[in-house]
Amino acid sequence: MASSEIDALAQALARLPGLGPRSARRAVLHLMKKRETALVPLLRALEVVAERLSTCSICGNVDTRDPCTICADPRRDPKLLCVVEEVSDLWALDRSRLFPGAFHVLGGRLSALEGVRPEDLSIDRLVARIAAGGIDEVVLAMNATLEGQTTAHYLAERLEGFPIRLTQLAHGLPVGGELDYLDEGTLAQALRARRPVA
């Protein structure tokens, strides 16, 4: 049996995505065994982030500074703007180092079932950024879900009057995927998006 404080720590960790009660207990045991090399540095890092955490006033990213590290990077191409649903999507795309432009986080996706309307997302801020000028291409990087595609369609309608190139991420076969293991929706999208062999 652990003390109520240690049990509370395990319960707090168990609320994190990807960690269940057993994984959280293992993490707590590891932190206690490696107090100086794991627990103390983790506590310091959490304190610093808790003190400085902010939402970027330009793109909606979460960082310890405003504007965020991505928006403040002079190597980024401000003429390219990638619109994503959530901060986790921004981080995934940025981690790939394949997109050289700026980002805009909507803060979710349209969903009639969940009651998420256009005014609940940062769509007006997106339109204002584009209306200010200086953006040549907007990439809609919505998830390949019904809600994601609904959001992309809505954004395309809202942005159609602007002199920009509007694109979206391709959907279809994953690299290394075998046809036999793919769902019908993925196969259908791959067939619709087929292109000539070079």
Of 84-88, 111-115, 143-147, the range with the lowest mean pLDDT is 143-147
Phi/psi of residue 38, each to 5°? Answer: -120, -50
Measure the CA–CA gap between 79 and 8, rounded to whole angstroms. 48
Structure confidence by residue, pLDDT tens digits, 120-136: 999 999 999 999 999 99
**What does the pLDDT look like over 28-74, one tens digit per residue?**
999 999 999 999 999 999 999 999 999 999 999 999 999 999 999 99
pLDDT at 111 over 70: yes
> What is the pLDDT averaged over residues 169-194?
80
- Kindly report the pTM of this predicted structure: 0.84
The confidence score (pLDDT) of residue 198 equals 62
- The stretch 10-14 carries a mean pLDDT of 95
- Spatial CA neighbour of 61 closest among 37, 92, 35: 92
The pLDDT mean for the chain works out to 93
Answer yes or no: are the C-beta atoms of 83 and 138 closer than 8 Å. yes
DSSP state of 164: S
Query: For residue 154, what pLDDT is reported?
Result: 97
Confidence at 139, pLDDT banded by 50, 70, 90: very high
Question: If pLDDT is split at 50, 70 and 90, which confidence band does 22 have?
Answer: very high
